[in-house]
Amino acid sequence: MSEAPAEEHRCEDCGTKFEPGGKRCTKCNAWEGARDPEQCRICRGRMLKGAVRCATCQSYRGWRRVLAIPPAILTTMTALLAIGTLFMQTYSSVRYRDSNTRVIDATADGNVLYVAVANSGQAPSSLRTFDLLFADKLIDVRIDVMSEHKKAGLRLLPGRGQAWIGLLVEGLQSRCYGPIPRKRYTPEEVTQWLNKNQVTLRYVVRESDGESTKSEQFAGNVLLPIITANKLSTSEPCQ
């Protein structure tokens, strides 16, 4: 005599078949035989008491709804993000259609000051001249672009990252100060000043929309290898 088939139990909320011996829906998490339906906060659909996911809109209830975003909202958010990204790309292409050249880093070796220059715009630019400025007019100095970099050209193309340019530092001499008889700053005084202050690099650049003078500051101690290698002149008498 054959056995009668086991009675099939289905969730009263979403209709999912209960597993053998199961008492809770594997889809919406409602208990078997649960009563007193509640409303979904998202779609206002019917949810059995104890269920954590709505069978209508698939949104979660309780703390899980913070982590789970309904598909409709997720689609809207994705579309808004795509529109925002397109807007920013368009805005950037309009705003930075010209060249935009800046000195972004500096280091020294021997009597050469190396500066990293980048063009973040969308048109070529070229560098013209460079000057070193000290806030307290501590040192007289001449700088010139290294000959190999002059031959290679100082033209900066957009989207090529940073380019390092070598600047020869020559004619280092400390300045005179104080009342007569005046005296020059000593190498120790110059070193102490550079360790505490910033130096300004002024440069002239020909941007795509015209020539302009710019300046960037960097730590004075970057120049210490140059001061050491060139033996700062302090012997010439002050006038």
pLDDT tier at 69 (50, 70, 90 boundaries)? low
Between CA 112 and CA 174 the distance in angstroms is 18
Q: How far apart are the first and last CA of the chain?
A: 127
Cα angle 88-93-96, degrees, rounded to a multiple of 5: 110
56 by DSSP, 3-state: which? coil
The per-residue pLDDT for 1 is 47
Q: How many Cα atoms occupy the beta-carbon half-sphere of 39 within 13 Å?
A: 4
pLDDT above 90 (res 121) = no
Q: What is the pTM of this model?
A: 0.57
**Residue of 143, 113, 148, 73 whose CA lies nearest to 221:** 113
Between CA 182 and CA 239 the distance in angstroms is 8
Percent of the chain with pLDDT over 70: 78
The per-residue pLDDT for 182 is 83
Each residue of 35-62: pLDDT tens digit? 556 767 777 667 777 777 777 777 776 5
pLDDT above 80 (res 212) = yes
Arithmetic mean of pLDDT over the chain: 79
Measured from the Cβ of residue 169, the count of other Cβ atoms closer than 10 Å reads 21
pLDDT above 60 (res 225) = yes
pLDDT tier at 216 (50, 70, 90 boundaries)? very high
The per-residue pLDDT for 103 is 92
Contact, 205 vs 124, CB < 8 A?
Answer: no
Region of poorest pLDDT, from 77-91, 129-143, 168-182: 77-91
Measured from the Cβ of residue 226, the count of other Cβ atoms closer than 10 Å reads 24
Residue that wins the pLDDT comparison between 24 and 193: 193
Each residue of 71-119: pLDDT tens digit? 667 678 888 888 888 777 666 555 557 888 999 999 998 889 999 999 8
Residue that wins the pLDDT comparison between 90 and 218: 218
Measured from the Cβ of residue 44, the count of other Cβ atoms closer than 10 Å reads 11
Between CA 45 and CA 39 the distance in angstroms is 6
Residue that wins the pLDDT comparison between 208 and 28: 208
pLDDT tier at 7 (50, 70, 90 boundaries)? low
3-state helix, strand, coil in the chain (%, to 5): 25, 35, 40
Between CA 17 and CA 34 the distance in angstroms is 15
Cα angle 88-89-95, degrees, rounded to a multiple of 5: 85
Each residue of 188-207: pLDDT tens digit? 888 899 999 999 999 999 99
